[in-house]
Every structure is written in structure tokens, then in C-alpha cells.
Structure 1
Amino acid sequence: MTISHRLRRAAAAALTAGLLIGTLGGCNSSGSTTGDAKEGASSDEIAAALQTDTTLTVWGWAPQLKPIVEAFEKKYPKVKVNLENVGTNNAHYTKLQNAIKAGSGAPDVAQIEYAALPQFALSDSLVDLKEFGAADLEDKYTPSTWGSVNLNGGIYALPQDSGPMAMFYRADVFEKHGISVPSTWDEYVAAAKKLHAADPNAYITSDTGDAGFTTSMIWQAGGQPYKVNSPTDVSVNLQDEGTKKWTKTWQPMIDEKLVSPVAGWSDEWFKSLSDGSIATLLTGAWMPANLESGAEAGSGNWRVAPMPTYEKGKAATAENGGGGDSVLKQSKNKAAAYGFLEFSNGPEGAAIHAANGGFPSTTADLENEKFLNTESAYFGGQKINEVLVQASKDVVPGWNYLPFQTYANSIFSDTVGQVYATGGQLDDGLKAWQDATVKYGEQQGFKVSSK
């Protein structure tokens, strides 16, 4: 494990512990007392706030935010938005957590990924957007993204983007080796064997062990390892039927070395995507822009198909990535901040988001004929959004993240990750991950049950 990996794990652990210890110990007042006392506002009050001289601070890393802010300021010239990228992933969350703990310095609006949202909501750091009428927006978003922001009876963000999973594949590689596009996992494993036998330097995909990929694959298999019975009462079962369905499929892929050992997002990974030595990616709908910029030599050869399924003809997928925007309780301009959320995650902002490479979570945009019929030159002229939009409709319902998911993910490499590093059984690694997750939750004051 590199030093940078250790530092990221430590940052994630410190982040979650700092948030949760304060919350469960009853010391979270700093996250809820700063700013104006009134947290809700009517639509008229929100409209008035957007016509009042105001300055908002927004923390986020998505490249789409810059043009969204520019369009917002043009429509509402009295509102100045200071857009700040304070880092991605743990750097962003650690700085946010520090400001919450200090009771000052937090932005008005923060971008927060769906997997991290529960811990910030639990720490009483975010405004419940129901007080601004957000509950009326439910049918504007896909069920999976709305479910990710609707936590414990409150709405703590408006969805920004989504990541329904699909299979991105190299049509030229499949054609060269006479491989049909797999529609089931049995066919996918067979394709992996055929490809690697024909070319020992080629792999169906890469996987060196990643918590987000693992949980998404369990989700797609129908697993529900995390249950949130109340904000402080959760259960963890990484041995449920859906989880074992995935491990039964994926274990032979690891044992027979059918997955590339190249680490994701490395230069070598992008090179492999460019030359076709990695022939598929099982990932979220936000991937096309990354392929276009990182694997330019693959242009014209990539295509998109639905995720393989366990039952032929029965579509099923999961979300992988994505997040929303939240209003912080420290904000002194909550009405204007919520107005920014409605713009950036409503029809106008969503259109800008999609035009700049994002995949929308808004149903209107997903049903837009222009969006659906857009042909991608990189993907050989395919109308890839037709496949990706259908994927958004096929996400298996009922998924939950833990209120300390960031920490749980940070210890993945010490448990399941060891199966990839030294060999062994995924089920054993998942059990070790479960045990470590349960132990941590109990240490933080949660009631945690497991099987």
C-alpha cells in the first residue's frame, strides 16, 4: 500500500469519526446554530431572495458547475456566486467537516456524493429541504437518485447527476475474436475466457478491488447488505443472497485471472482502454466524457450495451457514483441558496450539465428527444443515451448506504482488497469487511446488527 493510499484512508477515517462522534455524543450544535434561525421559505420568499443583493459560496468539483454558475448569475444578477473547488473526495469532505465542527467557514451550498450524504445528514449539518417545498419535486427526478437524497424522512440535497450502470465495450475487439455482446453474466464469463485464451494480453475488464464497484455489483445482483432502521440503528449483512450471487459469478474471474491487474484511472488503464487490451467497462453513465478525454485512440470503437443480468431478458442495473447539492445549516442566505439548488438541479441547470458531459438525474431531460437521439461519434455514431436512459429506469430499488459509508469504504483495501492482492475467497473478504464495519459502527455509538 502506498503512502498516498494510507493518507486517503486516514483522512476518510478522521472525517467520518469527526462527524459521527459529535453527532452521537450530542455535541453537534455547531452544525445547526450558525446562520439565520429560519430554515424554511415559501416560493415567494425564495423568489425575493434571488432579487436581493446576496453573495453565495458554493463548494464543488464538478466541471459542469462553472457554466451553471455563469448562467445563474446572468439570470439573477443580484446574486454573486463564489464557486470554490476545495478538493475532491476526502479533501472536500474533510474541509467541510472541519468547518462544520468549527461552527463557521462552511459554504452556503456543497456538492456531496450520494454515498457520503447520510453521514452529513446525520450530523445535523444540512438543511432539510422539505422546509422549502422540495418534497413537491419528487417526480422531477429518477427514483434511485431521489431515494439517495430522501433520508430518514428528510430531503438533504437535490440530485445533480446519476450513474446508472451500463456495459461499455470495444466492438472491434469483440468482432476480431468472434465474441457476441453478452447479455447474461454466464455469457460474460464465457466471453472473458474466450478473449483471454485468444490473446493473453487482453482482458474482458479490469478489477483490482474497489469498494464502489463492489457495492454497485452487489446492488445490481439484488443484494441489500445495508439497512438503516433509524439514524442510529443499522444492520450490515455482506453475506446476503444478492451478495453471494455476485461473488459466485466474480470469484472465477479472479481465480482464473480473467480480469486485468491494471489499476483503474491510472495512465496504464487509459492506455489499455485506448488499445483495446481492456475490452469492457462496467460503470456509470458518466463515463463517456472520461473515455473521450482519456482514451482518445479508442474513438469509433467503443459501444454501450445494458449490463449483463443474472436472468436472461430481465433488465437490472445499479447506480455507480453521482451526487447532489445541499444547503448547509451555517448558511445565512438559505432562501437564495435553495434558489440556486433549484436552478442548478432543475431544467435550466440540468440542460447545461448534460451539454457539458454530465448524465442528468432529471426525468424531463432523460425523456428529451434531442438528448435521446444524440449520436456520439466516439461511440461509432451510436445513440448511447437511449441505452443509458433505459438503464436509469432499470435500477434495482431499495438500496441504502450506511451513515458511515465513507469510513467503511476506506477499510475495503484491508479486507476484500486482500483477496485481490494475495488470493482467497471474496466471501471471506466481505465477511472481514462486515466485521470491521460493524465494530467501527458500535465504537461510534450506533446500534449495529449483523448476520
Structure 2
Amino acid sequence: MPIFIRGHRRVTGAVVGVAALTLAVTGCSAEGGDTGTAPDGPVEITFQSWVPNIDRAVDAFNASHDDIQVTLETITAGPDGGYATMLSAVQAGNPADVVQLGYDAIPDFLINDALEDITDYVAGSEDLFVPWQWQTGTFDGRVYAVPQASGPLGQFYRADIFDELGIEYPETWDEYYEAAQVVRASDPDRYITAFAFNQAPWLIGLAQQGGATWFGIEGDAWTVDIDGEDTMTVAEFWQRMIDEDLVKIEADFSNEWNADMQNGNILTWISGSWADAILRGTAPDTAGSWRVGGMPQWEAGEDVSATWAGGSASAVLKGSDNPEAAAEFALWLNSDPESVNILTNVGAGWPAIADTSEIESLQDDPEVFDFYGGQDIWDVFAESDANVDTSWVWPPLSSTLFASLTDNVKSAVDAGTPLSGAYEQTQTDMVDALEERGISVD
């Protein structure tokens, strides 16, 4: 029986944000613009977001504020959708006021000089938020984004089929491998999970949870270590799972994947806390059959977690006519208990606020708990969020990282070549991309 255990160094501490962007950002404004408050009516601002049903939070803000009114514009998530639209609008001089950004995208927007400095408007509220999440929007002592929620990883699994097959929940990756063998032997159509070659955040989260630190700062340069030892250990594990036909090569969120989640051909899904809402919507007829557990560990007894692309935040775009009003909305949206409760309900992620005791949906949510057989799944994600390796740094050009990684992994899977080569190529791609932008790389 192969063993997938190796030494693991647990890294903790604050996110390395200040040094990182001072090396990559030039020309970022340190002052907000004119608030543009009209004397005869409320300030009107626009907010762009991809979160389903976030209009409920916007409506709650508008109902409770006479001086600011927000119009929601729904956008497509990701670098090829809403992000491109946002950056184009900044360049054209007609940006939205507040936008939803992934933590991973904030450095990209900063090197494009696309974010307003909102320090003067929100810095006094820092203590409301989990420190590592707050730091994702703070660079060189200035604040450019208000954190909304993180995506701590957990494992959704079919408890009914696990019980049927006599599988105990896999606490380690070795046990996960053994469980995968049992699942595969039970039915020719069954797999323990899908290998989601299309999801860079999933691939990155697995590496992060395995102890990898892909980016850092040494002196005046970025370091890039995508093909380091920890990553290669993770790649070797999944390569063996692929070689032994223990995982299904399948894009998650595809029609085939949706069907497999519904019919029990895929038994687990490692994803962020927000995935609860997706699972309930995708496979409603499986209510009561699912549970959630923590990430399998590389070393028994550890409790190391990671995130799905960090999380997301609210930022004010450069050129907003009303940066102060925009910052006020961003702060309320992500800290007011009523709003955070709505955001949690609609699957925005694990709240960025430090005190979640007033968030009703985290204390008692019959709709969610009943779907998971009465389990309070938020206990799992609270622990996962607390155990995220907060030393992880998102680099400039994260959109390049995501595209390169998924392209290279897909090519390796299609060609039947080792996954290790995909990470080595991504290492080369990222170093080249950073140097082409004039960013120093060691």
C-alpha cells in the first residue's frame, strides 16, 4: 500500500501584504476624491458583483440609508468577465463605484492603478475583521479593499454511501487513497471525486494545504516556487489517483458533473464554504445524504487548511465620483450583522468579520442543517478558517497564474504526461510574465 506522508511545516502569521505590493505598484493614489455629495438628494453609487441574490443586501442598505442609494449591476466573475469590464471602465473614466474582487485579484488591480485608497474612510474599523482577511486589502500601510468573506476548504461527502461501503471518514490523505479504492471497486461508475482540471483555485488550494508557498518576497524581488517540493508531493498523489483510475477526469460545474453529484457517482467535493449553496441547488433530491468534514491531512493529527482563492472583498474603483460614500457602503455591506447574515445565506462565503455571534444563519439554519442530516456544518468551516495558512501571498498577475495553471494541467491530463510537468511549466510562465511587466523576480 503506497504511503503519502511526509514532513510538514506549519506556517502561521500575518499575510505578507505590505512588502509585496510596494515592489509591484507604482503611482497608486493615497488620497480619495471628491465625495460629490448632492445637497438636494442622496448620493447615488453603483455596485458590481457576481454573488447571486446579493441584491437582498443592497436593498437592506438602501432601506436603512437616506443619504446614499446603491444600484446593483450583476457581472460575470473572473478575469475574462467582470474584471476586464472593470479595468476597461477605469481606463475610460466611467467606472462603477464599488466592485467585488477576489483577494487574489487585488494585486492585479493595484498594479493597474485601478483602486482608490480608502484608508481615511475605513481604517478605524480594522478591529471588526479577521486580521489576515483585513490584510488582503492593505498594502504599504494603506487600505484599498474591505474584506467580505473567505472560502475555507472543507470536504462535502455522501455519508449514506460511505456508510453503505463501510468507509470511515478519511482523516489523512493515505486514508483518502484507501477510501478511493473501496469506492472504485463498489461500482464501475463510482469515483471518490472528480479531478477538476478546470479549477485553478482548487489546484492551488490543494498545494497550499500541502504546505506549499508559491510566492514571497526576498529583498527587492518576488520569489516564485510553484514547482517546489511540497507542490510536487501533492502532484504525485493526484497523479497516482489518475493513473489508477481512482478519480474521474471531469470539469466541475459541468452538466456531467452536476449529474454525477445528483446520482451518487461522485461521492466527495473539496470546496469552499460557499459551495453549500451550490450543492443544495444542484442536488436537492439528495437532501439528508451529505455531510461535511475537514480536509484530509498529510500528517496524522495535524489540522492544516487552505482556501479557495482566498476570498473576496469590496473595493472602490479609481475614478469614483463618490469614494467616501462608496467606502461607507463597502464597510456596511461586510460588517453590519443584517448584511452579513444575508451574505452568508446566499453563499458569499465565510464572513470576514471577527465576531460572528450575531449572524443568525450561523447559529441556526434549519434549511442548511436539514440538508446535511442535522449537522451544523458551520462548525467545520469555522475551524477550517481558523487553520488557514495565513502566510500565503497572492502575486501580481493572478489572472495569468490561473490561466497558465489550468491550461498546463489540462494539457498534461489530455496527453497523459505527468502533472509535475504542468507545475514546472507554470513556474516558467509566471516568472516570464512577471519579468515582462518589469517586476523583479529572484
TM bracket (short chain): 0.7 to 0.9
What SS is found at the alignment partner of 1:365? coil
Residue 353 (1) aligns with residue 343 (2):
yes
The partner residue of 1:67 within 56, 68, 71 is 56
Residue 145 (1) aligns with residue 133 (2):
yes
Residue 253 (1) aligns with residue 241 (2):
yes
The partner residue of 1:401 within 389, 394, 402 is 394
Residue 331 (1) aligns with residue 324 (2):
no
C-alpha distance in 1, partners of 2:254/2:211?
30
Alpha-carbon spacing, 1:168–1:24, altered in 2? closer, same or farther (3 Å): closer
Q: Which amino acid aligns with 1:157?
A: A
Alpha-carbon spacing, 1:331–1:369, altered in 2? closer, same or farther (3 Å): closer
- RMSD over equivalenced CA pairs, Å: 2.6
Alpha-carbon spacing, 1:38–1:239, altered in 2? closer, same or farther (3 Å): closer
Name the stretch that deviates more: 240-249 or 392-401: 240-249
Q: CA deviation at 1:152?
A: 4.2
Alpha-carbon spacing, 1:379–1:334, altered in 2? closer, same or farther (3 Å): same
The partner residue of 1:445 within 428, 431, 438 is 438
Q: CA deviation at 1:365?
A: 1.8
Q: CA deviation at 1:366?
A: 6.2
Alpha-carbon spacing, 1:50–1:129, altered in 2? closer, same or farther (3 Å): farther
User: Residue 50 of structure 1 contacts residue 79 of structure 1 at CA under 8 Å; is this kept in 2?
Assistant: no
C-alpha distance in 2, partners of 1:137/1:315?
30
Residue 381 (1) aligns with residue 374 (2):
yes
User: Residue 157 of structure 1 contacts residue 324 of structure 1 at CA under 8 Å; is this kept in 2?
Assistant: yes
User: Residue 54 of structure 2 contacts residue 346 of structure 2 at CA under 8 Å; is this kept in 1?
Assistant: no
Alpha-carbon spacing, 1:38–1:381, altered in 2? closer, same or farther (3 Å): same
- The size of the alignment, in residue pairs, is 413
The partner residue of 1:76 within 65, 71, 77 is 65
The answer for unaligned runs of 5 or more in structure 1 is 1-22
Match of 2:184 in 1: 196
Q: CA deviation at 1:144?
A: 3.9
User: Normalized against structure 2, the TM-score is what?
Assistant: 0.87
Residue 268 (1) aligns with residue 256 (2):
yes
Residue 215 (1) aligns with residue 204 (2):
yes
C-alpha distance in 2, partners of 1:155/1:258?
46
What SS is found at the alignment partner of 2:45? strand
C-alpha distance in 1, partners of 2:134/2:357?
15
Alpha-carbon spacing, 1:366–1:173, altered in 2? closer, same or farther (3 Å): farther
Match of 2:427 in 1: 434
Q: Which amino acid aligns with 1:150?
A: T
Match of 1:224 in 2: 213
Q: CA deviation at 1:113?
A: 1.0
C-alpha distance in 2, partners of 1:225/1:219?
8
5 Å-filtered alignment, 1:116-127, equals 116-127=105-116
Identity of matched residues, %: 31
User: Residue 33 of structure 2 contacts residue 321 of structure 2 at CA under 8 Å; is this kept in 1?
Assistant: no
> Hey, which of these two has a bigger chunk of helix by percent?
1
Match of 1:164 in 2: 152
Q: Which amino acid aligns with 2:383?
A: Q
Q: CA deviation at 1:38?
A: 5.0
Match of 2:7 in 1: none
Match of 1:284 in 2: 272
5 Å-filtered alignment, 1:9-20, equals none
Alpha-carbon spacing, 1:213–1:328, altered in 2? closer, same or farther (3 Å): same
C-alpha distance in 2, partners of 1:153/1:163?
25
User: Residue 24 of structure 1 contacts residue 444 of structure 1 at CA under 8 Å; is this kept in 2?
Assistant: no
5 Å-filtered alignment, 1:92-103, equals 92-102=82-92
User: Residue 191 of structure 2 contacts residue 267 of structure 2 at CA under 8 Å; is this kept in 1?
Assistant: yes
C-alpha distance in 2, partners of 1:80/1:40?
19
Alpha-carbon spacing, 1:327–1:51, altered in 2? closer, same or farther (3 Å): farther
What per-residue deviation string (whole Å, max 9, x for no partner) do you get for residues 319-343 of structure 1? Answer: 1043110011211111111110111
Match of 2:410 in 1: 417
Q: CA deviation at 1:40?
A: 7.8
What SS is found at the alignment partner of 1:388? helix
User: Residue 142 of structure 1 contacts residue 393 of structure 1 at CA under 8 Å; is this kept in 2?
Assistant: no
User: Normalized against structure 1, the TM-score is what?
Assistant: 0.85
